[in-house]
Structure 1
Amino acid sequence: MSHTAHIPSHRKPRLSTAKNVLRAGVAGGVLSTIAVAGAAGSANAAEPVTETTIQMPTLSAAQVAEATEQAATDLQQQAQQDTAAQDAAKAAKKAKTDAVHKAEAKKKAEAKAKAEAEAKKKAEAAALQRASRSSARTTLNAVPASSVSNIGGSSSSSSSQATGSAASIVSFVKSHIGDAYVMGGTGSSSWDCSGLVQAAYKNIGVDLPRVSQGQSTAGTQVSLSNLQPGDILYWGSAGSAYHVAIYVGGGQFVGAQNPSSGVVERPLSYDQPTGAVRVL
């Protein structure tokens, strides 16, 4: 054998550089995949993932009918509830209106009761005045007739003794005896008490206040024992008289008395006046 004969080497042949790089890359990728898989496995072991599958139920015809009927029932109940709510609202509104009406009725009733009480009070006051007048008439009737005939200083025919303006006043009021009494009346055929007196004086060119209160202070106050035809008689107090008339002589007066009597001539004893004023 030659000394130069080929002796096989016990070392493995070298891989090329490209193959080494390729192997290293594949090994690295495998190791990375294993690492990721291991981490994912640990995470999955800590928090298990539950997957839910939603499956839509299949309804039968009976179930559909039942659902429809239930929906209709619900709608009907809702409608009934709405109707009940509306009825309750109407009832509440009506109750409120009724309460207002009752309050108004109560207020009117109280006002009516108050008015009736005032009317009763006035009626009682008028009754007292009438009683006072009646007492005065009784006292006057107790006086001898001769004394009565001398009131005003004249006889029963003293109206014929009135002269001048006084005679005109007496003639005017006597010409309207029988005319109607009308509250606020100023002629020519209907009068109230002060309207007739004012017209009688206006007939001679004398202007008097329109109402009895003013007429009772329009002249000089005179005593009832010293009356003259044409004097203004008043009932009540001077400045607040509630009735007036004209003294015509002979113990008589003419005045618009009331709606039932109208304009009349009466003796002083019929309704004794409180006082008198003389304008002329």
Structure 2
Amino acid sequence: MTKDIRPLAGKVALVAGGTRGGGRGIAVELGAAGATVYVTGRSSTGGRSALDRPETIEETAGRVTAAGGLGIPVRTDHSSPEEVRALVDRIAAEQDGRLDVLVNSVWGGDPLTDWEHPLWEQDLDTGLRLLRQAVETHIITSRYALPLMVARGSGLVVEVTDGNTARYRGTFFYDLAKSAVIRLAVAQAAELRPHGVAAVALTPGFLRSEALLEHFGVTEDNWRDGAAKDPNFAHSETPAYLGRAVAALAADPDVMAKSGRALATWGLYREYGFTDADGSRPDFAAHWAENLEAEYGPLGDPL
């Protein structure tokens, strides 16, 4: 019997925050698995978000379709309940009430993150804005999207975060945001379990996003040259690796067994056997244990 190479054919996904980075990688890999993917965010051909980056939801949606799925871009500000409700109403109308996968990947907090100062020296308004951007957007999106899954008695929610342990992440508001997103997955899992819907948190390792490539002054073609600035960059991974982890979870008939857990690409590749775009299998936790733990301590206890 031939193995189905499009295990998500007929499935419908919403990737909130799918414009670039991990969200884009997830959207494209869900498309490669055959899904119809609604790609949302604030950066579109009609105008850029406050981040003022060139990537757009239309570009991501085009990549979803080129990969074998169907990409549908919908410009949405996920901090607006009205816009999110309209988005979900559109999905329900166009897909006969079906939504199989919800990915909460909204972030946009890089320019709001202060890595230099402790809480008592940071600008409070900026820190609270980061929390609204990185946490409230996820809550709003789940609030309106979850009823579609509950009504069908199946589905998967993925909360994209940074790290899957209790280790302090370097600065107060960033740490609070990423830790809170994990708790969003735990809380949703508890409430969704009676309805057959799973919720997990998921982290990449050292993610080679568009912005990070620019930071290191490289492209995806010569990215290894970035290791001259930071040797740890040699152990980074593409957004496709994160996307393949989500696609594997979404295709797993036993995904409920993982509901409520904080997962990582470096654990899931071992179980599901997926590779990064170049065929490698980056394992940032193993790299950390071997090269960074002596200086920075262990990654931390599981959350």
- Say which one has the larger Rg: 1
Higher helix content, 1 or 2: 1
Looking at both structures, which has the greater relative contact order when contacts are Cα pairs under 8 Å and sequence separation is at least 6? 2
Pairwise TM-score range, normalised by the shorter structure: under 0.3
Calculate the TM-score normalised by the size of structure 1.
0.19
